[in-house]
Amino acid sequence: MSTRIQILDAGEQLARARGLEAFSYADLEKAVGIRKASIHHHFKSKADLALALIERYSERFADALRDIEDAHVTPQERLRAFTGLYRDALAGGEQVCLCVAFAAGRESLPGTVALATRSFQEMALAWLEVTFNELNTPEFPDDPQDEAAAFLALLEGAQIMARGASDPALFDAAIRPFIRRLGVTGLKA
């Protein structure tokens, strides 16, 4: 695995567990095992690193959405799989989605990073809107745009809650009513 990727991996883990401002090149030095100056060789500034982090995260997320589309046909199944992405991102209650970590401290983000974070969110919302649009059932009667926003908010908030208590069970509890509503719908369809 290339050094560059090792740095990205360590940076992502730290950003998602602590927040972008709460880790330093010294932390990366320890995590990766090379000197700070070498980290700077790969990422000239911390803003560059942050941008690379959210861009890689976006690409991977887009891939994951394509995988969901390939593996699942019904909107119910796709939404359940989407939930799984956020559940996995919790990492046992020790991390949140990078987008959540960045959005929380938005005012301290470099401009390009703030924009990329916003794009990530828009990608997620757009995908969900399409999916809720296909889910034409009485349990979700609202504007698909609103249902998409409500669902993404639920998942992001469930991560924050679980993170606050370092307890993934809170994520599961928060998601349960939605999953049940979805399940009932699935049986009807």
Partner DNA sequence: GTCTATACATGGATAGAC
Partner DNA sequence: GTCTATCCATGTATAGAC
Binding site for a second copy (CB under 8 A): 17-19, 21-23, 94, 96, 99-108, 117-118, 121, 140, 142-143, 145-147, 149-150, 152-161, 163-166, 170, 173-178, 180
Nearer to DNA, 22 or 71 (CB): 22
Residue selected from 26, 71, 91, 165 as contacting DNA according to rule CB under 7 A: 26
Closest to 20 in 3D by CA, of 88, 100, 92, 89: 100
**112: which residues sit within 8 A by CB, 6+ positions away?**
47, 51
What is the rounded CA–CA span in Å between residue 106 and residue 114? Answer: 7
Name residues contacting DNA, limited to 127-186 (CB under 7 A). Answer: none
Other Cβ atoms closer than 10 A to 11: 26
Choices 17-25, 94-102, 150-158, 163-171 (CB under 7 A): range interacting with DNA: 17-25
Q: Which residues, at least 6 apart from 33, have a Cβ–Cβ distance to it below 8 Å?
A: none
Q: How far is CA 59 from CA 56, 79, 105, 170, in A?
A: 5, 19, 22, 28
Rule CB under 7 A: is residue 56 a binding residue for DNA?
no
Q: What span, in angstroms and rounded, lies between the C-alpha atoms of 14 and 11?
A: 5
Among 9, 13, 19, 38, binds DNA (CB under 7 A): 38
Residue 8 CB, shortest distance to DNA, in Å, is: 13
Binds DNA by CB under 7 A, chosen from 47, 123, 149, 154: 47
Q: Which stretch binds DNA (CB under 7 A): 28-36, 98-106, 111-119, 141-149?
A: 28-36
Q: Rounded CA gap, 44 and 69, in Å? A: 37
Sites of contact with DNA (CB under 7 A): 3-4, 23-27, 33-38, 40-42, 44-47
